[in-house]
Amino acid sequence: MSRFQDKVVLVTGAASGMGRSSCARFAAEGAMVFGIDIDEKGLQKSAEAINSNGGKMEVAVCDVSRQENCFKAVSQAVECFGKLDVLVNVAGIVRFNHTPDVSEQDWNLVLAINLSGPMFLSQAAIPHLLESKGNIINVASNAGLMGQAYTPAYCASKGGLLQLTKSLAMEFVKSPIRINAVCPGGTDTEMVEGARFPEDVDGSLISRYVSIRGNGKPEDISSMIAYVASDEAKMVHGAIISVDNGMMAG
């Protein structure tokens, strides 16, 4: 398939996990990919894999928690490739803790990266997307749709991201752009490998958000992201799409 021939796609969180696999998927389908992340080495690895395989990817280090950085990254992508067709907000972090122990710093950091970043990038990208009739995909989580214990900031950030998606979808409903959210369930990435729970957690609460069918692979999420970003999904706007091995079914 070459659904993204001559399209320019900006992907955040491009150094790892679903961000990296999404860059690879878009590039394999003909896109020019601009990847951003705070992890410079990871970015280089993503770009090398794509560029040595006949694809096209440029990268820039960017901390998406700051508005000025987000505007700079969108400008860099447009300067590099001449336009912007798709913005994919993938970058995110999670912190597990008992709610009384959540620090102000951790609360603010999770919200800044997971919720403010997509907002700032959308602000910067929308004028370009209006020109290209492009679209935005926000990678939220099943944690934005259900209560998950020990992750108050993460759940709040992902629930907020879903409402941000819907708010923007309504504001731009008369324009040609589309804005959607994809909600992964458990997926084998560095985020899951690095997950550390505090002591004395109630395991029976955590087992509620582990899929009976097990975790997916980053590519399983990227294939949905690519579909939603493509013209095949031209009627999909303001949608919240779960890719979670049935986790939200029960």
Ligand X SMILES: NC(=O)c1ccc[n+]([C@@H]2O[C@H](COP(=O)([O-])OP(=O)(O)OC[C@H]3O[C@@H](n4cnc5c(N)ncnc54)[C@H](O)[C@@H]3O)[C@@H](O)[C@H]2O)c1
Q: Which of 180, 189, 222, 242 binds ligand X (CB under 6 A)?
A: 189
Q: Is 129 in the site for ligand X (CB under 6 A)?
A: no
Q: Is 159 in the site for ligand X (CB under 6 A)?
A: no
Q: Which of 56, 190, 238, 239 binds ligand X (CB under 6 A)?
A: 190
Window contacting ligand X (CB under 6 A); options: 73-81, 163-171, 188-196, 222-230: 188-196
Contact 147, 206 (CB under 8 A): no
Q: Can 154 be counted among the known catalytic residues?
A: yes
Give the nearer residue to ligand X in terms of CB position, either 109 or 132: 109
Window contacting ligand X (CB under 6 A); options: 27-35, 129-137, 181-189, 234-242: 181-189
Structure tokens at 176: 């040609």
Instruction: Locate all alpha helices (DSSP H) within the chain, ordered by sequence.
Output: 17-28, 40-51, 67-81, 104-111, 117-132, 152-171, 190-193, 203-206, 218-229
Give the nearer residue to ligand X in terms of CB position, either 230 or 242: 242
Q: Could you tell me which residues come within 8 angstroms of residue 9 by beta carbon, excluding any fewer than 6 positions away?
A: 23, 26, 31, 32, 33, 34, 85, 86, 87, 88, 229
Write out the residues near ligand X by the rule CB under 6 A. Answer: 12-13, 15-19, 37-39, 42, 62-65, 90-94, 113, 139, 141, 184, 186-187, 189-192, 218
